[in-house]
Structure 1
Amino acid sequence: MNVEARIKSFYLLGNSLKRFLKHEKASSTSEENFFNLLNEKVDNAIHYNGWFTKKNILFSLQQWSEALEKEKLEDWLSHYEIPKDKNFTVAIIMAGNIPLVGFHDFLCVLLSGNKVLIKQSSNDDQILPVITQFLEELEPAFKERISFTKDRLENFDAVIATGSNNTARYFEYYFSKKPHIIRKNRNSVAILTGNESKEELAPLGEDIFRYYGLGCRNVSKMYVPKEQKLDYFFEAVYDWHPIIDSNKYANNYDYNKAVYLMSEFKILDNGFLILKKDESFSSPIASLFYEEYDDLEALKLKLEKEQENIQCIVSNGLDPQHIPFGKTQQPSLTDYADQVDTMKFLIDL
């Protein structure tokens, strides 16, 4: 199977996902079966994981339907020397914090010509098998190149593993003799200047609240000018206030607020988000840490030194490398996790 055939199968998958999301009539019996099963598994995913909502699952599918366009796939892969088929089996240990969080690794392994052995998190094990089944109908050659396991990983040549800082230490020890990419905890940060209008700042709510803030690309901390009052921030993200209607989110909000108050921490609160001044990057659910700065250039240097802990930096155009407000959950195919070129790693095996 050559690279053109692999690309074709994925952009056909993307087209089918677009039709599914638009509630269009299926173009074939196979696609109709895919739509029916996908609907069923979306409902199952919501049942098995209280953090997964239909809106967030469909949002994830929407992002992938747009990423899997022919021109985008071809442009991305044009920067690499893609081999035909390789005989390496790459194990992927997937996280389960947000829907389809491991799909980019899955895509990279198959498009690089390798075989994939998938170990899913029980928190996100409903959707990918359905997509895989349909992908194999689009391109039967994939049937011998994709496998899932719930058991101990065996018979693989390389590994991509995503987990917490604690599990990363185990992964690095266990997989030390295999080529590997091991991902640890990372968080994303936003830089505010205080000059943003409400309209400019409002999209930041998407970066903070999408997936309830559980993704590494979610903003968990922001930097604000010294003595800056944060009323304008609260006003800008107020449209997200219905998030408090989620029981799991509300429970975290109540718990964290109680802990902060009992500990006599100074906090700011708008009824669905708690702001706490803190130097850490990783804030609890329903909380957002913030830190003041008085020198923007010094802050940029500080964040450069912390790049191993940061997934994304978000701002209103302060730096070409920064992500615009509202775009962290819409990564392109070249936005590799932890800034490690997964495709190059796979091609070089």
Structure 2
Amino acid sequence: MEIVAYGVLADEEPLLRDAFDKSFAGRHELRCLGLFLDADTVPTAAGHEVVLSSVNDTLDAEVLRSLAKGGTRLIAQRSTGYNNIDLTTARELGLTVARVSYYSPYSVAEFAWTLALAVNRRLVRAAHRTREFDFRLDGLMGRDLRGRTAGVIGTGKIGAAFARIAHGFGMRLLGWDVAENPDCLALGMEYVPRERLFAEADLVSLHVPLLPETHHLVDAEALGLMKDDAILVNSSRGGLVDTDALLETLRAGRLSGVGLDVYEEEAGVFFLDRSLEVMTDERLARLMTFNNVLITSHQAYFTRDAVGQIAQTTVANIEDYFAKRSSDNVLVRPETS
């Protein structure tokens, strides 16, 4: 059987093929496509029982109906997040939908710290200067993190890994989540109301999923509570931050630095080369004009360790589907419809 994968990155493909070869030994063929799955590209999935999707694919009701009509029965998402999939429609159509519920939390936590440190110490500006043999230090002053307060929004596996690094820096820890994590409590984290966290933290890092109740979690009110010299980092989902409110905050000269690995309108932009085109997303273009803002293209998870785990789990999800087994990775299965 041929299985088709969408949105496959160049560095991801060898790891995905290796996982396939080790598990299926030629029983299934893998077709890797760089294009994203949406209403325009869904005809290419016709005749494929199994489709491997990426986080930037659009799996709305229209696309899911086309997939089901073309014979697709399993959608295996190669990510933890699944806000791009209409699960209600998938259930109505009798599709099985699975995801990767776990991979290395250190990949994202370490990258979130990479963003925090880079904006704190003005590393991008410094690197650009030195490449032009400008060795002045004007405008490059940062701050020690020891003794300052890190606010962790979401203290699951990734948030806890971020907190452990913050603890290693000697930072005071504030947390906010629906449930307290014993590992974070052991580090000395104090769980506080969200408003207090925003008001007291020198560094706020976001590690919650994008759900209706977390959409625009960082809105004008939250940003207004933050210190003028605070740092904001988002390596989770773009929709957690109200971009318009963030732009207004930056225009007012507030926030010492912002590190964004995600953006709420990143679909159709991130993972693609748009360097020869006019950037029509005015909000993204405006964000790029602030020298205290660092934006990367959803690469926090992108380590050999994490992507390898994602590939292995995706293959395991396919094996479970054919064996009619279930697991914690299954979001929708026909028998629950």
When normalised by structure 2's length, the TM-score is: 0.30
What TM-score, normalized by structure 1, do the two folds share?
Answer: 0.30
